């Protein structure tokens, strides 16, 4: 499986998400969206075109951390990580 974690080191939800991934021994590519403009654009391309983010956008939230699984499945919460 291929995992990509979109996160921000400024987001208070990121540390718990990272800890859960490490506990589950999941290897992932890290994309810090606040690290560079290309990283942010890559994330926004995903967020702005996927239905999974509809409630995130409606609430005015960013949507990180996000775990992208095999370029298909979007995981937005710690409870969803339990299914991996």
Using the structure block, give the residue that is written with the tokens 């710690």: 78
Residue 29 corresponds to which tokens in the numbers above? 């590519």
Predicted confidence at residue 46, as pLDDT, reads 96
How many Cβ atoms from other residues are within 10 Å of residue 57's Cβ? 13
Predicted confidence at residue 70, as pLDDT, reads 96
Confidence check: pLDDT of 14 > 90: yes
Q: The pTM is what? A: 0.94
Each residue's pLDDT tens digit, 49-62: 999 999 999 999 99
CB 33 within 8 Å of CB 39: yes
Res. 84 pLDDT band, cuts 50 70 90:
confident
Cis peptide bond prior to 65, omega within 30° of 0: yes
Predicted confidence at residue 83, as pLDDT, reads 83
pLDDT averaged over every residue in the chain: 96
């Amino acid at each position: 499986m291929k995992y990509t974690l979109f996160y921000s080191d400024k987001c208070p939800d990121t540390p718990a998400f990272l800890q859960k991934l490490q506990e589950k021994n999941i290897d992932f590519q890290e994309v810090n969206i606040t690290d560079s403009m290309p990283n942010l654009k890559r994330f926004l391309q995903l967020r702005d075109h996927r239905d999974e983010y509809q409630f995130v956008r409606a609430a005015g939230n960013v949507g990180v951390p996000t775990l992208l699984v095999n370029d298909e499945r979007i995981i937005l919460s710690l409870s969803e990580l339990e299914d991996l």
